[in-house]
Amino acid sequence: MNRQLILLCLMVSCITISMADSDMVIRGKTIRHDSNNNITTAEGGDDFATANWGDKNAPKKLTAKTIKAKMKDSKTIGVAKSDVDNVGLGQDVEWIEASDKVEVIFPNRVMTASYCKSVGKKINCTGNVTIIAGKNKVSGEYGSFDLENDRYEISSSLDSTQVEAILYKD
């Protein structure tokens, strides 16, 4: 009986997460949901877990071995927000975290890293961070991407290699 109840809960959480009008769709070989903390974890197994956003201003896709997402408290979901407030991870997504071979695909660039976590309207990353926009490429140890202002910053610690940028004329 417990096994059936757990399976039913997982099915309900997967269906809830993958509804067409949702802010985000998460896929993976294994999906776990912690109802007490409202955190969903997707693991890709030998493949990659993915998260896709419905919000037009959000990243278009994220792939990683493990993705964790926390949705906002149900009391705040559906509260009217301005377009500026909706820029980011989707109006109902509080934070998202990804680890192991992370790739975040934006409309005009791709960011890769070992680990990324959203903080407000920024995505902070560590471990071989690279941002590619067209032929341009910037890489370093740490990176952050400001979703609201469409800006990024790449840095390295003082005792490591420098940030490298390969830039081309438009």
Q: What percent of the chain has pLDDT over 70?
A: 72
pLDDT, mean of residues 75-90: 45
**b/e map 49-78, b = 16+ CB within 10 Å:** bbbbbebebbbeebbbbbbbbbbbeeeeee
pLDDT over threshold 50, residue 18: no
pLDDT in tens, 21-64: 567 788 999 999 998 888 899 999 888 999 887 676 677 888 99
pLDDT, mean of residues 78-93: 50
Predicted TM-score (pTM) of this structure: 0.75
Class of domain 2-166: mainly beta
